[in-house]
Chain A
């Protein structure tokens, strides 16, 4: 009996200690999350202001700098990216905009799962329509005319099953509001042959000016392909292998993409592909790029890289699109670049 009492005492003591440690850990994390929402000395200047998507010569992005405007959509003048950031009150995980149409992917933590949604935005960043998402936001794009929008999310079975961890890519026609919930319903022509498989995944759509042609990544049987697709024909055709997250240049002659440099690793190098000659040019960035790059104009691409020594934040960099030069830090503490 005494031994039972001793054991119960040990248990109570242990529960107290463990509860203390657990509370400490949570409070520490909560304090850190709180700190991230307070401006830090030496951080970039950010101020609330009016931001519209029909402005020109602006670079919009998701602000990652510590402070009340963290994760808000913000903008700086294209020719002066160090200027004070004008932040809206719209918060996104991933964002893109073109010609007065914006897409904002959001995540909120629910009771038993994460809730994700896509917002279709008008030029004043007002929500025109909301779409529930099946998973964690990954990529977003709007066609140059602003008519089409696309997004990719990561879908998983979460707690009970891990047999599924796939991507889901949707395309929305903002004029008719017709949504293609998953590109996987499109027919595939691979190496000149019709192709069908259950393990098909698409991600990283980029649009051409005709509001029909798009490029994207297709993954099947452990290989990735660059595909060219037609929305009207509901069809995609493979072009070349080992291309992920394509981004079409404004003149539509080239595609910037990330190329896996070693199979089965998460290491990529950013390249530019000439669509006529299919010649690949490695860009000067030496770090592994895991982002869908954005063309600032016909000669420069921008992309996010994780901030050195910090988890969970990224910086925007730019590099010449012809393989020359050196990468330049464009905007520290930012992601999802979208030139307006």
Chain B
């Protein structure tokens, strides 16, 4: 049972409550998970910010070829996500799986100090990514399950904003330490480990861990968040002017078998028979195939706008600031006008950014505009996609469902960066981006059509 379900309006007073203003409120568990992500991201971004420097200056590595390894890790991480999501549903303990994931990554920070060859370092980084892969789906499932369907967008927005804040504070902390202690990479890793432990601790202490199945058997206990909880949440959401796809949720939750039986792989696979989930996963993958990875976007922008190379590391900050400022309002907007609309609009914004990169005159405003659009794209898609799933996937399979969509998107983006790299090599940066833009336009059109019928069936 999740704390938040207690606060989730589930009775006649709902409407009043909402009008009094708790519409602005997110479930406490979302705030706790946001805090955990914030702390963990400080920890992990501290390491990523200085790792290249550490490799070159202290270990004396020639880091060429390290980038390829990184791509492979991202692929592995995506597959682990699938496992994490399914296991979390299976043992019906999202907190345990998320905790294991956060714990594994925390463990890796001190191990970095012991890694002195590219092999051991690769192993530690792989372990770190495994932790990240394990925790993603159960964590998002906890956010999803603790929030009524009509407020999913805002809840995920709050989480992503906190997450991004951590990612921005991390490099700041790392370079502060490096200025205090010259060449103090060990200190950066040590502090990062302490911060990571704190993140795990906040999760262990403040995320309620009682599983949903138990809550169900203890009938009448406060805050029962499983199938019927979802239905209630869906019902409350439906009477607002929010997402049209809420009806699907109650259908699905009623169709879903009682959560008493353990979740089997077969059952998780049966998720793919839900047309709406298939559509979402398919569209996420399709759009992912044409979403040029951030690194390429920054590189294209840097070349296009002639930004001095020493400022290159600061470009992602522009995206992050916009993302962090807009994640909550855009998430709330998605709740109001429909997640499909916002998700597709986000890709239209990305398409505009591509077009600017390709054709806009070179003015000083160009980098700001492109970074802002890139940030809007993240705000309109990163949290909105999992938010859309809440109404589609039954509660006891939520983590699996989130993992399926997350994995298909991540793998598609991975393929895209390989393909984009190859296209860049063969045809140059302009044609490669133009190709992606055309691809994105087609995919967005297809997604617009595919995602519509499910809405209109209602």
Contact = CB atoms under 8 A, between A and B. Distances in A.
A and B: partners? yes
Q: Chain B's interface: helix, strand, loop or mixed, by majority? A: helix
**Interface-centre pick from A36, A114, A222 (highest chain B CB count, 10 A):** A114
A176 interface: no
Contact of A312 (B58, B172, B202): B58
B317 A112 contact: yes
Contact of A134 (B53, B179, B312): B312
Interface string A132-174: 1111101000000000000000111111111111111000000
A158 B62 contact: no
Interface string A264-298: 11100000000000000000000000100000000
A111 interface: yes
Contacts of A83: none
A33 B181 contact: yes
Contacts of B428: 198
A45 interface: no
A135 B53 CA distance: 9
B197 to A, nearest CB: 6
A165 B64 contact: yes
B64 A110 contact: no
Contacts of A26: 177, 180-181, 184, 187, 190-191
Interface size class of B (residues with CB under 8 A): 35 or more
A11 B176 CA distance: 25
A32 B177 CA distance: 13
Interface string B160-197: 00000001001110011111111110110011001101
B23 interface: no
B312 A155 contact: yes
B251 interface: no
A162 B70 contact: yes
A163 B422 CA distance: 13
Interface in A244-265: 264-265
A266 B313 contact: no
Interface stretch (B295-303, B339-347, B360-368): B295-303
B181 A29 contact: yes
A10 interface: yes
30 contacts: A11-B206, A14-B198, A15-B198, A18-B197, A19-B194, A22-B191, A25-B187, A25-B194, A29-B183, A29-B187, A30-B181, A33-B182, A154-B52, A155-B312, A157-B299, A158-B48, A158-B49, A159-B171, A162-B48, A162-B70, A162-B295, A163-B70, A163-B71, A163-B417, A164-B67, A164-B299, A198-B421, A199-B425, A311-B58, A312-B58
Interface of B: 45, 48-49, 52-53, 56-67, 70-71, 117-118, 167, 170-172, 175-184, 186-187, 190-191, 194-195, 197-198, 201-202, 205-206, 293-296, 298-299, 308-310, 312-314, 316-317, 320, 417, 421, 424-425, 428-429
